[in-house]
Structures are given as C-alpha cells and as structure tokens.
C-alpha cells in the first residue's frame, strides 16, 4: 500500500518510498499535543480523556504526568521548557527545570479562560495560545462550565503580560509561525456563520502583531486542528485522512495517509525530519525528506 498521495510533483521529493507510516503505540482514548524532547530522546503527548501526559521512547510508553489536568497542546519555549495547555484548570502552564509548575495564563480581564487548546513559542520569546470553548463544553469529571470569554488567540509576553491578539475567529485551534516569523497560521475549527468553511487563516506579522488575516487553505476531508511548518515554509496540517502538506501559496501538495483521524503533529528526531502524529487512539511517525523548524 502507499502511505502517500501526491498532488504536486514537488511533494514526491518530500517523502521517501522506503519510509513507512509506523504506528508507535496504541490503545489510548484520544491523543493530542505531541512535543519532541531530543535532549531526552522522547516524545511527550496528551491522552486527554485519561487525564495523562505520556512519554514515548524507543523502549515504550510510560506516564509523564498523571493527573495532567486534562492537558491538550504542548510546546517548548525558547529556553526549552515544557509549556502546556490544560482544560481542567483552564490555564497555560510552564514546567520549570526543577519540575515545579508555573501558571503563565489563567484569566483575561478578570475572567477565566475557556480551555486553552494549543500553544507555540514566538521568535521574540513570547508564548501564543488559542482558547476555544471545547474543554469547558466537555463534561470530564464535571468541569463543564459557562463560557465567559470569546474564543481568542492570546500572546503572553516574556514579562507575563497577557494580551488578546486575534478576536475575529470562531474557534481558533492549532497555530504555527512560518520559519522566518513573518507569518502566523491559525486553524479555525469553528464557523462564524453556518455557511463558513472551517479553514486555516494566515496573518502577516507586522511590528509583532498579526494583521491582514485571510483564508489560507481549507482542509478536506475533516478540518485542520494541529499545524506545523517545515524549514522551507510548507505548512503540514492534520486532516481526517492523515496529514496534508500545503505550500506557502496555499495549494495542497500531498498527503500522508493515516488510518485514524489525526489531531496534532510535530517534527522531531535528531535530524528534525521525523514527523510524529497523534491520531485518535494511536501515535504514528514517518521519516520525511523535510525538516521541521528549530522551534516547535
């Protein structure tokens, strides 16, 4: 069987015929938020319903944190520390070098966040995260709650200041900066109006602010959740049938076919050319002829 679908001949050089899509581990409830720790040779990822952050290595899967406060997306900040979105506590946290956990955002203008979903580190050291309502709409252990803030994208300055930076999306979800930091991509898994497609938006970064937001690409089947850029500026997105590779001009170049619905992705491995994929009950990986950017 083929693990790939080529839509642009250029994509044929991005994939390797002898590198299969491998299922690394399975049996989870719903996995999300992969983040690679090359220094530890491990992948951390969330199993949200089972309230755990798990650690995959070549030797198998162990528990990293349980309970995880229903953590979802993760990244590493510019100092390499783990930054996590937590649904249960409606906050974004940073795990310090000594293992203590610091809250870096849990409210805005005096109101609790909804349920932080995904997070990335910006070139200037800030942390950006999305705050749709999915977590508080899910009755994990009774923490279903009323929404007090619109679904927005926030920026946490290195000083700790929290600002809402995008407020005109229905349900902002995955996000990624282009390798040169001049563009921000944000997946919208909601719809402002019923006729709207779920889409990925692109913003130009001008003076540190996202401007000129416009529709970049509409993923089908399914919709984009987690997204990541490679070092050439192509955007890789989750989809219902696998992972789609989208060129900087917005056209679909090709697909990695995965037998389960994909939630999130990240690049890892020593050469940053191994794509890790969280998909429903399993974690997969595939070696590509592309590299991820230095910072996830």
According to the binding rule CB under 5 A, does residue 117 interact with Mg ion? Answer: yes
As beta bridge partners, residue 152 has 131
- Helix, strand, coil percent values for the chain (each to nearest 5): 5, 50, 45
Measured from the CB atom, the residue of 15 and 118 that comes closer to Mg ion is 118
Nearer to Mg ion, 15 or 226 (CB): 226
Residue 164 Ramachandran class (φ > 0 left, ψ -120 to 50 alpha, else beta): beta
Give the three-state DSSP class for 140: helix
Exposure pattern of 59-95 as b/e (b: 16+ CB <10 Å)? eebeebbeebbbbbbbbbbeeeebbbbbbbbbbbbbb
Count of CB atoms situated within 10 Å of the CB of 10: 13
The region of 118-126, 141-149, 153-161, 245-253 touching Mg ion under the rule CB under 5 A is 118-126
SS3 of residue 136 by DSSP: helix
Name the segment binding Mg ion (CB under 5 A); options: 1-9, 77-85, 112-120, 211-219. 112-120
Q: How far is the CB of 134 from Mg ion (least distance, A)?
A: 8
Considering only residues 69, 77, 86, 118, which one is a binding residue for Mg ion as defined by CB under 5 A? 118
User: Within 13 Å of residue 162, how many CA atoms lie on the same side as its CB?
Assistant: 19
Instruction: Return the structure tokens found at 228.
Output: 């990541």
Nearest residue (CB) to Mg ion, 95 versus 189: 189
Report the residue number, 173 or 234, with the smaller CB distance to Mg ion: 173
Q: Residue 111 burial by CB count (10 A; 0-12/13-18/19+): exposed, middle or buried?
A: exposed
What is the DSSP secondary structure assignment for residue 2, as one 8-state letter?
A: -
Residues touching Mg ion, count (CB under 5 A) = 4
Of 77 and 188, nearer to Mg ion (C-beta) is 188
* 75 touches Mg ion by CB under 5 A: no
* Min separation Cβ 263 and Mg ion, Å: 6
Tokens read off for 249: 């001009």
d(CA 267, CA 19) in angstroms, rounded, equals 15
Q: Find the shortest distance in angstroms from Cβ 154 to Mg ion.
A: 15
| Comparison of 61 and 186: residue with beta carbon closer to Mg ion | 186
Part of the chain binding Mg ion (CB under 5 A), chosen from 42-50, 109-117, 238-246, 265-273: 109-117
Closest contact distance (angstroms) between CB of 118 and Mg ion is: 5
**x/- binding map, residues 161-180, to Mg ion, per CB under 5 A?**
------------x-------
Q: Is the Cβ of residue 15 or residue 166 nearer to Mg ion in the bound state?
A: 166
Q: Rounded to a whole number, what is the distance in angstroms from the first to the last CA of the chain?
A: 31
* Nearer CB in complex with Mg ion: 122/223: 223
* Residue 131 in the binding site for Mg ion (CB under 5 A): no
Interface positions, 221-240, toward Mg ion (CB under 5 A): 225
Per CB under 5 A, residues contacting Mg ion are 117-118, 173, 225
């Amino acid at each position: 069987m083929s693990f790939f679908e080529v839509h642009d001949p250029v994509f044929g050089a991005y994939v390797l015929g002898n590198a299969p899509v491998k299922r690394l581990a399975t049996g989870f409830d719903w996995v999300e938020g992969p983040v690679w720790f090359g220094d530890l040779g491990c992948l951390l990822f969330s199993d949200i319903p089972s309230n755990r952050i798990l650690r995959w290595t070549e030797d198998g899967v162990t528990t990293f944190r349980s309970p995880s406060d229903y953590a979802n997306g993760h990244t590493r900040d510019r100092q390499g520390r783990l930054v996590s979105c937590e649904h249960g506590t409606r906050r974004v946290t940073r795990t310090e070098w000594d293992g203590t956990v610091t809250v870096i955002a849990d409210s805005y203008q005096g109101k609790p966040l909804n349920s932080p979903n995904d997070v990335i580190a910006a070139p200037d050291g800030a942390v950006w995260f999305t705050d749709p309502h999915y977590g508080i709409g899910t009755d994990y252990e009774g923490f279903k709650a009323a929404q007090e803030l619109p679904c927005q994208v926030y920026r946490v300055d290195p000083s700790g200041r929290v600002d809402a930076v995008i407020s005109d999306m229905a349900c902002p979800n995955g996000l990624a900066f282009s390798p040169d930091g001049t563009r921000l991509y944000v997946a919208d898994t909601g719809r402002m109006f019923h006729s709207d497609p779920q889409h990925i938006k692109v913003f130009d970064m001008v003076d540190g602010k996202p401007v000129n937001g416009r529709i970049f690409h509409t993923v089908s089947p399914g919709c984009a959740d987690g997204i990541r850029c490679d070092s050439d500026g192509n955007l890789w997105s989750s989809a219902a049938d696998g992972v789609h590779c989208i060129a900087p001009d917005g056209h679909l170049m090709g697909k990695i076919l995965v037998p389960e619905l994909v939630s999130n992705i990240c690049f890892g491995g020593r050469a940053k050319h191994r794509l890790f994929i969280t998909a429903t009950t399993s974690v997969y990986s595939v070696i590509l002829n592309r590299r991820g950017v230095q910072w996830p």
